[in-house]
Amino acid sequence: MYGMIVQMLAAPGKREELVAILTESTGAMPGCLSYVVALDAANPDAVWVSEAWDSKGSHAASLELPEVKAAIARGRPLIGGMGTFVETQPVGGHGLVAG
Amino acid sequence: MYGMIVQMLAAPGKREELVAILTESTGAMPGCLSYVVALDAANPDAVWVSEAWDSKGSHAASLELPEVKAAIARGRPLIGGMGTFVETQPVGGHGLVAG
């Protein structure tokens, strides 16, 4: 498995709009096992995305999906900066499900 | 929803053993929607756990489950330190499933 844990920093006042874009297009990405979008409880601009994929290739392929490309184009102006970025190797747990 | 993203630092050489404990007891925790255990790709001692619960109360209650208490007791000596700890409010995505 391949994964990442990413903290995005929304432009001021834009977190809700960014979260809406992040959550709307995650239903049908081939090879995506988990894609959880969460608000940072302490930082009103921060959003965390925790992702698990069956392979690094599936993640890379997702970035070429038309709906993902469109979401990135709409989301980019709402992002004020990037915070933590961690690449991971998910190994198990609960909630890893084929899309 | 309630969540957290936690980076644990295993004692040197103990990551594999710690991960085995973290993943074995996550199947049947009431209110747990996601509990993904992942190796840090860059730090050979680090493990990330990304959790989503239906409520903060369900998470608190899980810590009282006998199997979770036992896992914590076995895991604690394998932990060398704690890294990042973030409380979150998960809002959507893929892979949020009742246990």
Output Rg (C-alpha) for chain B, integer angstroms.
13
* CB-CB neighbors (< 8 A) of A90 in chain B: 36-39
Q: How crowded is residue A70: how many other Cβ atoms within 10 Å of its Cβ?
A: 12
Chain A residues with beta carbon closer than 8 angstroms to that of B32: 94-95
Burial class (CB in 10 A: 0-12, 13-18, 19+), A63: exposed
Is the ipTM higher than 0.90? The answer is yes
User: pTM for this structure?
Assistant: 0.95
A39 bridge partner residues: A47, B89
Tens of pLDDT along chain A (99 residues) come to 999 999 999 999 999 999 999 998 776 799 999 999 999 999 999 999 999 999 999 999 999 999 999 999 999 999 999 999 999 999 999 999 986
Q: CA of A24, closest CA in chain B: separation in Å?
A: 8
